């Protein structure tokens, strides 16, 4: 029962309500039957009284004898009472020695021509229904005719009805109790299951799932718990993968740092040039670590939603031109032709200029990094309602089946090659997140050996058009 609190509460509430309803219903039915029986008995006794009065008022001689037979037959007592309260005649089954049912106030009413009926309880506790009518002869009330009928048979019938009511009440109550218990079990079992499952999930067993069963609210809750478990599992896996990647990315440059620093420290070089080369490597690897830490920091801030944008009116054509200028040297080193074109009528954009430049620089650096000959082109086009920014190259390209993953953290197409280029696989995931933050979206098309094209789309707001 300790685990089945809902069942207990529900059971108590429903049974309590049922009990109250049954009690009210029982009392109402009992009242209904009682008044029905009383009304019936009253009519019967009054009918008998009228009947006997008519007989008594007739002048036939054997009337009294006939009345006696009728009274016996109907199981009532008949009393003919004088104005003073004396019994002038009695017949029938009933004999009430003390005659206390004759009340002087009634006699006054009857002798003034009225009819009276009432319920009377004799000194022995037995109840009777009394109906009185005046016997009128020659326009004068000569006596009062009392019909006294015992309520015993009526009381017996009523007791029978009550017994039946109580029995059916108990039956209905037990039925309600049983069905609430079943409903409570039905409701609380999945909740208990979910409780167990969530405890397991909290304890780290993220493979735990709950049976969804019905598509009702409880089923929806089970579905939500399952979704939560899937999310937690994905989160745990990606976190593990993330740490594995970070440690892997850090281990390589640190090994280099350690090795070459040792070579310099132990003076294991022959010429000064050789030493400078080793120091260059140490410097490059230190910068790589710096770059990695910066990128990780940036990504973490973006993922926590802590990055704050500083929007301003930006001339995108000028901003892209500056980015091209900055990468000119790198492109020149590789003998790549760096082109920049602007199409359409430039309009100012209200956006974070520094972040926008970061996106363009990242894409341009990638294009230069992964292109050995040919050209790299930045095409900016202002179209009605949107701005398109495309960075295209004639480089090594990306295999089609890898395209869906290149925006993931640490994803590199050709691991060893990319490393030789100095990349860590974080640049595009930063670009992707930044583009999203600035309200744009990025797509990529590529063909291995022919080149790659990254396209950014930004919808222009009303005030920017
Ligand atoms: N223009 C491109 N041409 C061919 N391959 C590309 C190009 N841009 C990106 N890639 C591939 O996509 C991978 C992911 O790019 P991303 O910019 O995220 O990482 P990275 O350049 O290796 O390192 P980082 O930018 O963090 O220094 C790269 O490793 C590379 O293999
Ligand atoms: Mg990159």
Q: What is the CATH number of the domain that holds 260?
A: 1.10.287.130
Burial of residue 155 (CB within 10 Å: 0-12, 13-18, 19+) is: middle
CB atoms within 10 A of CB 32: 11
Assess contact for 412 and 252: CB atoms under 8 A: no
Ligand 1 pocket member 206 (CB < 6 A): no
- Chosen domain end from 303, 338, 368: 303
Ligand 1 pocket member 451 (CB < 6 A): no
Most confident of 102-116, 205-219, 286-300, 352-366: 352-366
How far is ligand 1, taken at its centre, from the CA of residue 202, in Å? 38
Decide if 253 is inside a domain.
yes
Per-residue pLDDT at 192: 87
The string of pLDDT tens digits covering residues 12-59 is 888 888 889 999 999 999 999 999 999 999 999 999 888 888 888 876
Decide if 224 is inside a domain.
yes
Are both 321 and 460 inside the same structural domain?
Answer: yes
Cβ-Cβ contacts under 8 Å for 333 (sequence gap 6 or more): none
| Alpha carbon distance 391, 408 (integer Å) | 19
Decide if 395 is inside a domain.
yes
Domain that holds residue 60: 5-156
Q: Work out which ligand 1 atom sits closest to the CA atom of 371.
A: 3
Per-residue pLDDT at 351: 95
Are both 350 and 293 inside the same structural domain?
Answer: no
Residue 123 has pLDDT above 90, yes or no: no
Residue 358 has pLDDT above 80, yes or no: yes
Decide if 184 is inside a domain.
no
Q: Which two tokens stand for residue 137?
A: 């002869």
Q: Which ligand is nearest to the CA of 367?
A: 1
Residue 278 has pLDDT above 50, yes or no: yes
Residue 90 has pLDDT above 90, yes or no: no
H or E stretch at 90: strand 87-92
Residue 1 has pLDDT above 50, yes or no: no
Assess contact for 430 and 295: CB atoms under 8 A: yes
How far is ligand 1, taken at its centre, from the CA of residue 283, in Å? 22
Return mean pLDDT, the chain.
87
Query: To which residue do tokens 């063909």 refer?
Result: 447
CATH number of the CATH domain containing 27: 3.30.450.20
């Amino acid at each position: 029962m300790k685990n089945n609190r809902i069942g207990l509460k529900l059971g108590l509430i429903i049974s309590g309500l049922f009990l109250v309803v049954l009690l009210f219903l029982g009392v109402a039915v009992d009242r209904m039957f009682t008044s029905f029986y009383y009304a019936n008995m009253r009519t019967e006794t009054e009918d008998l009284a009228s009947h006997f009065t008519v007989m008594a008022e007739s002048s036939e001689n054997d009337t009294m004898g006939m009345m006696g037979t009728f009274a016996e037959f109907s199981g009532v007592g008949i009393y003919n009472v004088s104005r003073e309260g004396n019994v002038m005649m009695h017949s029938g089954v009933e004999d009430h020695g003390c005659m206390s049912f004759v009340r002087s106030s009634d006699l006054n009413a009857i002798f003034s021509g009225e009819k009276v009926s009432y319920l009377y309880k004799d000194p022995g506790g037995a109840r009777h229904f009394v109906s009185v009518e005046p016997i009128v002869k020659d326009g004068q009330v000569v006596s009062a005719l009392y019909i006294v009928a015992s309520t015993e048979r009526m009381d017996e019938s009523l007791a029978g009805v009550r017994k039946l009511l109580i029995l059916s009440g108990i039956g209905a109550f037990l039925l309600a109790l049983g069905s609430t218990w079943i409903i409570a079990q039905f409701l609380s079992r999945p909740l208990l299951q979910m409780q167990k499952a969530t405890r397991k999930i909290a304890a780290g067993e993220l493979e735990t799932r709950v049976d969804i069963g019905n598509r009702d609210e409880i089923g929806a809750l089970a579905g939500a718990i399952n979704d939560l478990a899937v999310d937690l599992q994905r989160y745990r896996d990606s976190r593990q993968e993330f740490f594995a990647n970070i440690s892997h990315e850090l281990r390589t440059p640190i090994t280099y740092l350690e090795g070459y620093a040792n070579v310099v420290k132990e003076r294991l070089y022959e010429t000064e040039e050789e030493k400078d080369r080793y120091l260059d490597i140490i410097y490059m690897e230190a910068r790589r670590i710096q770059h990695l830490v910066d990128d990780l920091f940036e990504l973490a801030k973006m993922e926590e939603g802590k990055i704050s944008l500083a929007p301003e009116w930006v001339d995108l054509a000028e901003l892209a031109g500056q980015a091209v200028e900055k990468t000119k040297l790198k492109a020149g080193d590789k003998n790549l032709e760096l082109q920049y074109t602007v199409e359409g009528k430039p309009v100012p954009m209200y956006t974070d200029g520094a972040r926008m430049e970061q996106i363009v620089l990242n894409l341009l650096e990638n294009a230069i990094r992964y292109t050995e000959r040919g050209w790299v082109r930045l095409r900016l086009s202002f179209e009605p309602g949107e701005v398109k920014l495309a960075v295209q190259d004639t480089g090594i390209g990306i295999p089609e089946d890898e395209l869906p993953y290149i925006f993931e953290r640490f994803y590199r197409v050709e691991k060893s090659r990319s490393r030789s280029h100095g990349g860590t696989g974080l640049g595009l995931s930063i670009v992707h997140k930044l583009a999203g933050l600035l309200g744009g979206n990025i797509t990529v098309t590529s063909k291995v050996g022919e080149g790659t094209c990254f396209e950014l789309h930004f919808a222009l707001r009303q005030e920017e058009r």
